[in-house]
Amino acid sequence: MAADLLRRGLRVESQAKVNASGRPGPNVDTGRLRSSIQTSLRVDAFGLAAVVGAYTEYAAYVEQGTDRAPAYPYLRPALPAAL
């Protein structure tokens, strides 16, 4: 089960990196956001979980937007890749 969960998480990670690679997504200057997207397996109160996330300080601002910048979701649209 862990292998299947990891495989699905890696598919989501791969699609999120594609989504974060330029228009219609965010502009890519350095690729730092894209390279920060990672998958890990964790055990929490609900059991085993695959966690896919971006670990730059501005990742949430790109995903959700701000009052000055539009949102360019890259993680949420990648979720169907897990199916």
Peptide bond into 26 cis (omega under 30): no
Cα-only R_g, the chain: 13
Q: How far apart, in whole angstroms, are the C-alpha atoms of residue 25 and residue 62?
A: 9
Contact 41, 53 (CB under 8 A): no
pLDDT above 80: residue 15? yes
Using DSSP's 3-state secondary structure scheme, residue 59 falls into: helix
* pLDDT recorded at residue 14: 96
Q: Which tens digits make up the pLDDT trace of 39-79?
A: 999 998 999 999 999 999 999 999 999 999 999 999 999 99
Kindly report the average pLDDT of the chain as a whole number: 93
Q: What is the pTM of this model?
A: 0.89
Could you tell me if residue 18 is left (phi over 0), alpha (psi between -120 and 50 degrees) or otherwise beta? Answer: alpha
Question: Which band of pLDDT confidence, cut at 50, 70 and 90, is reported for residue 37?
Answer: very high
